[in-house]
Structure 1
Amino acid sequence: MLGFVWMGLFSNQALQVNIDEKFFNTTINVIGTIEDIPKVGNNKTQFIFKASSPFKAKLKLSWYEKSRVKIHSGDQWKFLIKIKHNNSYQNEGGFDYEKWLFFKQFDATGYVKRSDSNQLLAPNTGLSIDLIRHKVQKRLVDSISQLEFMGVINALIIGDRSLVNNDHWELFKSTNTTHLSVISGLHIGLISGFIFLFSSFLWRQCRTCTLKLPASVIGAYFGLFSAFSYALIAGFSIPTQRAFIMASVVFLSIILRRNHNSWQLYGSALLLVLVSNPLSVFSVGFWLSFYVVAIIIYGVKQHQDKHWLFRLLYIQLLISLSTIPLIAWFFSSGSIFSPIANIIAIPVFSFITTPFSLLGIILSYAQLDLLSEFIFSVANQSLVYLSIFLHYLQSFEFNQWQYTPISVSALVLLIISILIGLLPSALKLRQVALILAIAALFQPHQQLKQGEVMIATLDVGQGLAQVVRTKNHVLMFDTGARYRSGFNMGEAVIVPYLQTQQINAIDLLIISHGDNDHIGGLDSLLKKISVKQIISSVPEKISTNSNLCKTKPSWKWDGVDFQMLNTTHDFNGNNASCVLKISTSKHSIILTGDIEKKAEQHLVNIWGKQLKADVLISPHHGSKTSSSELFLATVAPELVIISSGYKNRFNHPAKIVINRYKAHNIVISNTNCSGQIDVTLSQEITITHYRQAQKRYYWRQCE
């Protein structure tokens, strides 16, 4: 009970934003201090800004500055900025950025505007951890920038992965080895454990010393100091805080000479982590790290009569297999070769890459530059050879495995079945384990029937992306936007959604027209998902083979009718948008792209009463240029779905259009309020709003 009360109080405090509403979505001057090491990218610099005036808040800011003004941790700056409330796209399978911002306790996000008023008020001249980390990073960049895996070495030393090459990160991600490429509990545990053993060994060489103080106690002091130092140089990030607490519990029990069993120490560490930061439960790393430690404790007690090498391999196998359910739960995808990749990668990182990287930076500060360069080259070469092996595993077409999303009960059953199955004395229980595994995996999956269709309007901010499914077919209508930073809706929203739904191929992709907010995610989508056919009003803008929408006027899938409507007039721009009507035996929906009043008039003239539909996708995101009176009266929808961005710069949907919908008694749903919106046309029309269905207390409230 006390735990729930503490969590509630802590969360309530984290939700308090001490910024007056008048400061949002407007240009303001703020004074504050740079925190942590800024993340420098190709097009922007991202940093944490602790504002002190005209309000006190923790901000996550981006600075798009071509001249690359250098900013350092601890510097005091005055910036002209624009901030907005924490917000993210909410879709099945997507990254919950709002949860991440809440977990990191950011009050708002925003960007720095170009202005002569942006100025450094006071450089950091004091001694701070972040300044030390920045100087270490600068030394690394100056001395080993020519090494292929310099970014990974930097991440292992100071916990900053911003310099990790994208190709390297994708390689680690595709083989489930990303946890090794940044400072984690594993690295801190291994380094502090090694220091513990080494210092204990040296102390034992002095017989008189051991009479005064046991070697294990001296080792624990040095181990604790090394864990603290490593966590400190990593900026005491939440993962390193967690690892330091876990190491501290173990070493303090040795120093205080208390005989506690492994599970007591484990429980103490878990309690301390949760008391120090209850929001840790929102971190995937929290669950994985404590889960893996529990598996290690469990595994160490098995096969104690076997050779140490066998037991080591057994624990590694146990970790690899037992984490599959958690990976399925958190990520819905993984590498089928993950156990093999980690069996090789963990020893490489643990015994070569990480210790040699740390030794290299120590030797560098000791002015032993030649030896330091050699040590760094060994660390780099270990990653070169490892990457060759990982590339080989990655090359197999079936390497990436998409897991069906599982429930909490299924997750628990799977973990229990794996643990029972791997017990050395579980011969009689393995049948039970098999039954539990089958029960966990056998989950009723709602399947569309003949003549039914589901349209998922994804939350892609200011843009449009819709997935249409019948019993045996999939259609994609538009792909959202791509931004100058490289971030795009194909990679961030559409592909994760399709993977969550176990969709590996699209039968037909329709690009309504050539605006960025409708075509921007196309290239990323094509890289990940097989597309059989593409039609568009702008085939010249599409890199692969495609045809005009009018070449496919109508078709039928699984008892559902599809009709292209805007095919008989040569419009340009928004009015050229492909318009699609989807009809079942009882209901229908019209997908409109960005058509405006002129094209709407044309459709009314051509189709007349045949435009009648139950559901309408709001033309042009609810712009005042569209949704004309005549068009609405002709279509006469019961429901309109608007796909628009939160607080977008176009002020979509326009108030005049909203009033027009209300005057026609049309129910309004908007992705900027509801997130992903699913509409199913069967005997009845059912609609699901993702934000309302999956409601979280830390999500932005709908206005």
Structure 2
Amino acid sequence: MSAAMAPPGPSRRGSRGSGVAPAGTVAARDARMIDPVLLVGLALAGGAMLALAPLPVAVAASLCLVMVRRRTSRTVLVVVALAIGVGGLRARVALDGAAALYARTAVLLSPPSRCEARGVVISSPVVIGEATRSAEEPSSARVDVELSEGRCGERALVEPLRARLHGAPLALVRGDEVALVVDLAPVHLFRNEGLRDATTGIARSGVTASGAVVDAQVVTRGGTLRALIDRARAAVRARIEDTYHPGAVALGRALVLGETDLDAADAAAFRDSGLSHLLAVSGTHLVLAVAGLAAALRAVLARIEVLAARWDVGRFSAAACIPASWLYADFAGGSGSAIRAAAMLSCAMLAHAAGLRPAPLRCLAWSIVGGALADPLVACDLSFMLSAGATAGLIGLNPPLSRLMVRGPWLFKKVLAPVATTLAAMLGCAPLLLLTGGAFPVLGIAANVVAAPVGELAALPLCLAHAVLSWAPDVERGAAWVGSGALLVVRAVARLTAQGGVTLPTPDPSPEQLSALAVTLVAAWTAPTRPRQMAALLVGAAAWMLLEVAAVRAGAPVGRLRVNVLDIGQGDAILVDLPEGGAMLVDAGGFVGSPVDPGERVIRPLLRARRRQRLDVVVLSHPHPDHFGGLPAALAGVEVGALWDTGQGESEGAGPVYAALLEDLRRRGTAVRRPEALCGAPQRVSGATVEVLAPCPAVAPDRGANDNSFVLRIRHGRRAALLVGDTEHEAEEALVRRLGEGLKADLLKVGHHGSRSSTRAPFLQAVSPSLAAISCGVRNRFGHPHAESMATLRAAGVEVARTDRGGAILWETDGKDAWWRRPGATRVQRGSEEVP
């Protein structure tokens, strides 16, 4: 028989030696291949991490490429490798550009200035402060504006400046051209070692300044589609405020408009119960809204006999829903999760309109690719990543969980099906929630089982329907009444769970841990068998624990004294890592009249990142709000060995925050020590020698709080740091007369933020520091540090580091040598001259 006449099917020879695999083998191999679009999307998004942690991410990326090589083609593997590099390069360019842009803004607005300029509104107005607004105060909004053609103080605007403005009129819409008088300052970056790179926010938004509106006059009204959407948002907001139960108004605005303006108690309850996602505009919102529109369109088109007889009207409704999904995502606030969901839904609708069957995984992949192409740092958008994680959980975990859980009689299945779906979505989000640090709600799953059906099956559809029912007032009021009730039920579940719930403390993971997690997930994903998947997960867990041990040791170095002058804005906060692993906190910053709490924003996350649950000593240098305002939040949940306090605040009165702080620490059993017990003999604290040099022997009643600041000299071996609080000339002169060269130190934390009332030449000569650290903020209006103090430091040949330029200052010594550096930079070695 000739070859041409041979029967079909592989011969033994062909299956072994010809290189042609049997059909069954090819099918099995194809089934195991990973979607190439998904790989490219993950590479583009994840590659951005190369710009933030180059070494661990590069190692992890290399290992991941090795592991996926058997489940993709060589061409795709090369494209994925290039995508990782391109993602990292794009992120690096964006971050460098953001840093340069911020530096120019800091020069323009230093000190903070009143600006008169023209601007264009570039973001939807968002209502803020309603929970604390009195009935007499008018509602106001927060908007982003791009300013041009004006002046800030004596300086002209030479390039467009994006600013986030508070107190703007609610009537503004995107595209409005406005004439503005605003008080502006650079945004707080809070650049500290171990915390997330704050320039990512600038790179993603372009906003480098913030401030308050003094006057705003609309010059030209916006007429774009976005302006129409903003007017629709304003109309829906007004109807929510008019028709909802008062307790549910803020909840409704969050659910429908994406305005997270809950009062502090409700915000904490939703966060601590794991129910925040029920008030976030997510893929579920988008699917319900767009699917409802598609069903309505399909029903209308089906009644047109000529059209319905010749065409599948569902394809027309699907095509119409593609722009509708983007319009709704924009209407609902344009969060990362809404935009990703709109992209995924558009992919599915496009496939349906083309007569194809949508592939959920491919749609998810294209949404990730689109997000990464549009935003080089989309991996830093938590809402986008949580949305993608939840969707991945639904695609990958819902089918097996449903097979495992949804059993029994019909009623049981009806109850268990949404439970399985909720659990799948939560498991998809769980790794990301754990990575955000803070605490993971252990009862979150149970709370979701109770609240999710109420929120997603009652509150969400009714609140969305309410938004388009203004033409039917009675129906609108009914939807508002029932929708408000459902929201209040969800809030009650959140409050109850938060009050009695158990949380799992979750420290912020290190870059090495994040990289190990990525490798573990890819290893489990690509493993060919269940035992190998379990082995990959076990190895990953072991690696995580080893890296956790390394993070604990790095956060509490042994044999070294490390003084961290933190970047907390205008104020003082210094974290001192002691040679035997303990720690001291000297002050915690604070802003009078500002909702920004440096204790919550900086110090508590930093303690978590350092794995510190105890502070041996907390020192309040003197009772001024820019030194103690952040302490209550910073010390929440932290064991405190002792509080060193001058006592002046308690004897003279320093306000309710200070009084509540003392009461709380005493209730917790913390010893409060005064100068009378601290002056004289040096204190030995976790391997360091701490000398209290002032106010000794006690507070001087004829001096103000600044000149009664604690002055601490902390020694390790031949090195010393001198921390002087807000000490001014009078106290400096007294120290020089009493101690002379006994003040000598390598590091001087300059008094009173570099004010002209501190750091005179005789004092500087007595200390003779190599480095002077000045804690001051980019938004300070006091002119700190003063030119006179800076000139004195330059004349003495002292190197100066300022927190408003470059962020935190990390000074470190092993007892012999000393060095200092900025966050993320390599260390700078100092000389070896000894201190007495």
- Please, what TM-score do these two structures have when normalized by structure 2? 0.73
**Counterparts in 2 of 1:201 and 1:529: CA distance versus 1, 3 Å:** farther
**Counterparts in 2 of 1:604 and 1:51: CA distance versus 1, 3 Å:** closer
Cα shift readout 1:221-248 (whole Å, capped 9, x = no counterpart): 4654652442242254554333211110
How far 1:427 sits from its partner (Å)?
5.2
**Counterparts in 2 of 1:212 and 1:550: CA distance versus 1, 3 Å:** farther
How far 1:176 sits from its partner (Å)?
2.9
Cα shift readout 1:206-232 (whole Å, capped 9, x = no counterpart): 999765333652553465465244224
Cα shift readout 1:381-402 (whole Å, capped 9, x = no counterpart): 2232233332233224742523
Aligned 1:272-421 pairs, distance under 5 A? 272-300=370-398, 302=400, 307=406, 313-314=419-420, 316-331=422-437, 333-363=439-469, 365-369=470-474, 371-396=475-500, 398-406=502-510, 407=512, 408-416=514-522
**Counterparts in 2 of 1:206 and 1:646: CA distance versus 1, 3 Å:** closer
Letter in 2 for 1:360: H
C-alpha contact 1:417 1:434 (8 A) present in aligned 2: no
Give the corresponding residue for 1:604: 736
Show structure 1 runs of 5+ residues with no match: 695-703
Q: 2:369 aligns with which of 248, 271, 279?
A: 271
Question: What's the secondary structure of 2:210's corresponding residue?
Answer: strand
**Counterparts in 2 of 1:93 and 1:182: CA distance versus 1, 3 Å:** farther
Q: 2:686 aligns with which of 558, 565, 590?
A: 558
**Counterparts in 2 of 1:396 and 1:581: CA distance versus 1, 3 Å:** farther
**Counterparts in 2 of 1:20 and 1:655: CA distance versus 1, 3 Å:** closer
Give the corresponding residue for 1:536: 645
Q: 1:649 aligns with which of 781, 801, 816?
A: 781
In structure 2, how many angstroms separate the alpha carbons of the residues matched to 1:476 and 1:303?
48
In structure 2, how many angstroms separate the alpha carbons of the residues matched to 1:496 and 1:342?
27
Letter in 1 for 2:435: W
Question: What's the secondary structure of 1:646's corresponding residue?
Answer: coil
Give the corresponding residue for 2:820: 687
C-alpha contact 2:336 2:381 (8 A) present in aligned 1: no
**Counterparts in 2 of 1:396 and 1:529: CA distance versus 1, 3 Å:** farther
How far 1:251 sits from its partner (Å)?
0.6
Letter in 1 for 2:633: S
Q: Does 1:245 align with 2:351?
A: no
Q: Does 1:37 align with 2:125?
A: yes
Cα shift readout 1:332-356 (whole Å, capped 9, x = no counterpart): 5432333333343433322121111
Question: What's the secondary structure of 1:51's corresponding residue?
Answer: strand
How far 1:256 sits from its partner (Å)?
0.5
Aligned 1:429-448 pairs, distance under 5 A? 429-443=533-547, 444-445=550-551, 446=553, 448=556
In structure 2, how many angstroms separate the alpha carbons of the residues matched to 1:628 and 1:217?
79
**Counterparts in 2 of 1:512 and 1:587: CA distance versus 1, 3 Å:** same
Question: What's the secondary structure of 1:291's corresponding residue?
Answer: helix
Cα shift readout 1:627-655 (whole Å, capped 9, x = no counterpart): 22222222222222111112632222233
C-alpha contact 1:393 1:399 (8 A) present in aligned 2: no
In structure 1, how many angstroms separate the alpha carbons of the residues matched to 2:434 and 2:821?
24
In structure 1, how many angstroms separate the alpha carbons of the residues matched to 2:442 and 2:798?
49
Letter in 2 for 1:462: Q
Question: What's the secondary structure of 1:624's corresponding residue?
Answer: coil
**Counterparts in 2 of 1:300 and 1:28: CA distance versus 1, 3 Å:** closer
C-alpha contact 1:577 1:595 (8 A) present in aligned 2: yes
Letter in 1 for 2:266: H
Structure 1 stretch displaced more, 305-314 or 552-561: 305-314
Structure 1 stretch displaced more, 312-321 or 624-633: 312-321
In structure 1, how many angstroms separate the alpha carbons of the residues matched to 2:688 and 2:95?
48
How far 1:171 sits from its partner (Å)?
1.2
Letter in 1 for 2:688: V
Q: Which has the larger radius of gyration?
A: 2
- How many equivalent residue pairs? 682
Give the corresponding residue for 1:27: 114
Structure 1 stretch displaced more, 636-645 or 80-89: 80-89
Q: Does 1:255 align with 2:255?
A: no
Structure 1 stretch displaced more, 23-32 or 456-465: 23-32
Cα shift readout 1:2-29 (whole Å, capped 9, x = no counterpart): 8558778888888896999996454332
Give the corresponding residue for 1:101: 202
In structure 2, how many angstroms separate the alpha carbons of the residues matched to 1:321 and 1:69?
42
C-alpha contact 2:195 2:609 (8 A) present in aligned 1: no
Give the corresponding residue for 1:698: none
C-alpha contact 2:393 2:429 (8 A) present in aligned 1: no
CA RMSD of aligned residues (A): 3.7
Question: What's the secondary structure of 1:565's corresponding residue?
Answer: strand
Structure 1 stretch displaced more, 657-666 or 312-321: 312-321
In structure 2, how many angstroms separate the alpha carbons of the residues matched to 1:185 and 1:159?
13
Letter in 1 for 2:715: S
Give the corresponding residue for 2:626: 517
Question: What's the secondary structure of 1:244's corresponding residue?
Answer: helix
Q: 1:79 aligns with which of 151, 163, 180?
A: 180
Letter in 1 for 2:783: N
Q: Does 1:572 align with 2:704?
A: yes
In structure 2, how many angstroms separate the alpha carbons of the residues matched to 1:277 and 1:73?
24
Cα shift readout 1:458-488 (whole Å, capped 9, x = no counterpart): 1011110112233353322111122313322
Question: What's the secondary structure of 2:246's corresponding residue?
Answer: coil
In structure 2, how many angstroms separate the alpha carbons of the residues matched to 1:141 and 1:221?
34
How far 1:529 sits from its partner (Å)?
3.7
**Counterparts in 2 of 1:651 and 1:229: CA distance versus 1, 3 Å:** closer
**Counterparts in 2 of 1:6 and 1:602: CA distance versus 1, 3 Å:** closer
Letter in 2 for 1:130: D
Structure 1 stretch displaced more, 84-93 or 307-316: 307-316
Give the corresponding residue for 1:506: 615
Show structure 2 runs of 5+ residues with no match: 1-81, 134-139, 151-156, 408-412, 664-671, 828-836
Q: 1:47 aligns with which of 140, 143, 148?
A: 143
Q: Which has the higher helix share?
A: 2
**Counterparts in 2 of 1:660 and 1:21: CA distance versus 1, 3 Å:** closer
How far 1:252 sits from its partner (Å)?
0.5
How far 1:130 sits from its partner (Å)?
0.9
In structure 2, how many angstroms separate the alpha carbons of the residues matched to 1:415 and 1:349?
31
Question: What's the secondary structure of 1:103's corresponding residue?
Answer: helix
Letter in 1 for 2:446: I
C-alpha contact 2:807 2:823 (8 A) present in aligned 1: yes
Question: What's the secondary structure of 2:634's corresponding residue?
Answer: helix
Letter in 2 for 1:509: V
In structure 2, how many angstroms separate the alpha carbons of the residues matched to 1:372 and 1:584?
71
Q: 2:582 aligns with which of 470, 473, 498?
A: 473
**Counterparts in 2 of 1:20 and 1:304: CA distance versus 1, 3 Å:** closer
Q: Does 1:152 align with 2:251?
A: yes
Aligned 1:172-211 pairs, distance under 5 A? 172-193=270-291, 195-196=293-294, 211=309
**Counterparts in 2 of 1:193 and 1:300: CA distance versus 1, 3 Å:** farther
In structure 1, how many angstroms separate the alpha carbons of the residues matched to 2:141 and 2:308?
53
C-alpha contact 2:283 2:341 (8 A) present in aligned 1: yes
